[in-house]
Amino acid sequence: MPYGYTGNILHVDLGSKKHWVEHPNENFYRTYWGGRALALYYMLKDMKPNVESFSSDNLLIFATGVVTGTPAPGTPRYVVCAKSPLTGAEGESEAGGYWGPELKKAGFDAIIIKGISSTPVYLWIKDGKVEIKDASHFWGKETGIVQELIKEELGDKRIRIAQIGPGGEKLVHFANIVNELKHYNGRNGLGAVMGSKKLRAIAVRGTKNLNIFNKEKVKDIAKQITKRITDNPLSRTLKEFGTVAGVGPVYEAGWLPTNNWSDNDFKKGENLAVETYNKTILKNTEGCYACPIHCKRVAEVNDTDIKVDPLYGGPEFETVIALGSLCGVDDLKYIAKANELCNKYGIDTISTGSMIAFAMQCYQEGILTKKDTEGIELTFGNKKAMLEMIEKIAKREGLGVVLSKCSTLAAKEIGKGADRFIHQVKGQDVPMHDPRVKVGVGLQYALSDYGADHMKATHDQFFKEADSPGTKTMKGLGILEPVSPTDIGQKKVALFKPLDIYWSLLDTLGVCDFGYVPRSVGTLDELLEIIRSTTGWRTTWFELMKLGERSINMARIFNIREGFSSKDDTLPEAFYQNFKGGPLDGKGAINKKDFEKALRLRYELMGWNADTGIPTPAKLLELSLDWLIDEVK
């Protein structure tokens, strides 16, 4: 068994209630490593094309990375993959927290789940032993209650639980999976896949030590990184203010997504900024396993008219905007309440906010009426209506039945031109970063196999100037010069190729981008040494970047098998229009032809056909993926 791994991959068939353990050899681990690459290996090998997302043949895969659970900062992460009910494409979402490290301590690198149970169940994994247990008595209950009940039932407070909520049980297309009530595999509706399998939770407990080649070296690097956290402006900001620190500057820059992207000049933006957050709702900060950065916020409100339970964490950058300005809401207490509700029910805050903002615009345009909303005045800024709609979506009641689906389907069902007001890529609503001011992020939105996602690569502003954090720290990957965030030329396309590969690598290794360059404090050298000291392999950035590229190509092929093509690599029309109002008024429109040209160039740089975006057989051979060549013929 190679260092860094348990050497065990757990397979569970919920239909037959059987489970078995696979012990891959070292070459397998050194080819696919873990995380998204390992998950994609099984999705490509064991799933036939075009299975239904909610069928027994869809695999639901939880996979840790090789450094998950080591003492290094920013290494708590694991991925969940399946075919997504939201996009119909490769579904993928990473989470931090404590569950991933605990799974490895319990003896497994990954869990591959197939089949559908006839009754609600949960998995209980302790030190290599696996049980499929009845979860009928948990079904329908909120996540916070189930968390406590499972711990009571199993008699151990140190159990870590990844679970779905009632939203996942009811197959809301953007239901999520949460661990420890605060860490989310948030996007792509993977909670609905888990719900379709009638799998409410996976509880894990491990007492084994991880098998690390040179633990003292990893600890030493962790100490060095920790010492520098407060010297680095990015990690210092994350530690002191969390991701919410970004909201004020976005407002100031004039691109705060407002009223379902119809506006960018939210007049009450200061009410959402970190200063207001800290004064009105912040209770304390929290972090993930072994991470000293502590970027998570916990919110609490105890007003007479509104209360927010700190058990469910607090809203972060995406949530503050998606359930804030995007819905025209400027009251952080209500946004925190909306966050709490989404988390109790297990639904993604970005998609939930996006669907409510979409419905609000439809209502204002007369496409939806009070009859449709059952009397709710669904106007932008109506914070109480927003909370009511979250309940309806999570419970799939009334208008919530339509809004609980992928936005493309919802717009189709509503009709009357409602599709003008959706903003999605491959069926997933765009996150709260406007590609007009971050064109590289826009390219990533379009190219992302799992639909628009802000975590598909880093963001353009880190390479804006010669002294910007990314330009200064990523020279080891050949990134030497700054590029303007709004540039869409060859330099930008060339810049985002290694960044995409690097990000894909982080999602394969189990590394959080908030721990390492360009977004944070750990250096490329330190990250490489952590991987070497964990595995004992004298690996190089050459090998690691090939790994990142391998996983990108595997995801691309999965989607090609599902019928996706270069036509699906698009941006919503709104981003080809200029900003309206504020400092960016009359500017910003992305030139569609330039964007399409950039995509073609990117295909070529990736070794894909410039017209179709399909990986060439030679590229697959280069990446040791020759077993997939038949898929692209």
Binding site for another protein (CB under 8 A): 233-234, 236-238, 240-246, 248-250, 252-254, 273-275, 316-318, 432-433, 454-455, 459, 461-462, 464-465, 467-469, 472, 513-514, 519, 582-584
Give me the residues paired with residue 134 across strands: 121
Smallest distance, another protein to C-beta of residue 431, A = 8
Strands 177-179 and 160-163, how do they pair?
A: antiparallel
Roughly how many angstroms between the first and final C-alpha of the chain, as a whole number?
36
CA distances from 540 to 371, 426, 514, 528, 531 (A): 62, 34, 22, 7, 10
Checking phi first, is residue 12 left (phi over 0); if not, alpha (psi -120 to 50) or beta? Answer: beta
Smallest distance, another protein to C-beta of residue 216, A = 32
When the beta carbons of 79 and 112 are compared against another protein, the nearer one is 79
When the beta carbons of 441 and 614 are compared against another protein, the nearer one is 441
Smallest distance, another protein to C-beta of residue 528, A = 23
Smallest distance, another protein to C-beta of residue 523, A = 15
When the beta carbons of 103 and 457 are compared against another protein, the nearer one is 457
Q: Which residue has the tokens 């916070």?
A: 144
When the beta carbons of 250 and 574 are compared against another protein, the nearer one is 250
Question: Hey, what are 46's tokens?
Answer: 């064991």
When the beta carbons of 246 and 440 are compared against another protein, the nearer one is 246
When the beta carbons of 379 and 484 are compared against another protein, the nearer one is 484
Q: Which residue has the tokens 């509503």?
A: 414
In contact, 397 and 418? CB cutoff 8 Å: no
Nearest CA to 105 among 209, 1, 21, 219?
209
When the beta carbons of 29 and 184 are compared against another protein, the nearer one is 184
When the beta carbons of 109 and 316 are compared against another protein, the nearer one is 316
Question: Hey, what are 140's tokens?
Answer: 């329908």
Question: Hey, what are 615's tokens?
Answer: 């990986």
How many angstroms separate the CA atoms of 141 and 558, rounded?
Answer: 35
Smallest distance, another protein to C-beta of residue 278, A = 9
When the beta carbons of 186 and 195 are compared against another protein, the nearer one is 186
When the beta carbons of 91 and 248 are compared against another protein, the nearer one is 248
* Element (DSSP H or E) covering residue 277: helix 274-280
Smallest distance, another protein to C-beta of residue 483, A = 14
Smallest distance, another protein to C-beta of residue 459, A = 6
DSSP secondary structure letters along 515-540: TBTTTSSB-HHHHHHHHHHHH-----
When the beta carbons of 65 and 246 are compared against another protein, the nearer one is 246
Instruction: State the CB neighbour count (10 A cutoff) for residue 87.
Output: 30
Smallest distance, another protein to C-beta of residue 589, A = 17
The CA-CA-CA angle for residues 206, 208, 209, to 5°, reads: 125
Instruction: State the CB neighbour count (10 A cutoff) for residue 230.
Output: 12
Largest Cα–Cα distance of the chain, in whole Å? 65
* Contact partners, residue 542, CB within 8 Å, separation at least 6: none
When the beta carbons of 123 and 524 are compared against another protein, the nearer one is 524
How many angstroms separate the CA atoms of 177 and 186, rounded?
Answer: 6
Instruction: State the CB neighbour count (10 A cutoff) for residue 46.
Output: 13
CA distances from 619 to 32, 216, 550, 564, 604 (A): 16, 39, 9, 19, 11
When the beta carbons of 252 and 309 are compared against another protein, the nearer one is 252
Write b or e for each residue in 182-192: b if 16 or more Cβ atoms lie within 10 A of its Cβ, otherwise e.
bbbbbbbbbbb
In contact, 53 and 149? CB cutoff 8 Å: no
In contact, 450 and 188? CB cutoff 8 Å: yes
Smallest distance, another protein to C-beta of residue 228, A = 14
Smallest distance, another protein to C-beta of residue 450, A = 15
Environment class of residue 154 by beta-carbon count within 10 Å: exposed (0-12), middle (13-18) or buried (19+)? middle
Smallest distance, another protein to C-beta of residue 296, A = 12
Smallest distance, another protein to C-beta of residue 221, A = 23
When the beta carbons of 259 and 473 are compared against another protein, the nearer one is 473
Q: Which residue has the tokens 């190509």?
A: 553
Smallest distance, another protein to C-beta of residue 352, A = 18
How many angstroms separate the CA atoms of 8 and 109, rounded?
Answer: 6
Smallest distance, another protein to C-beta of residue 264, A = 13
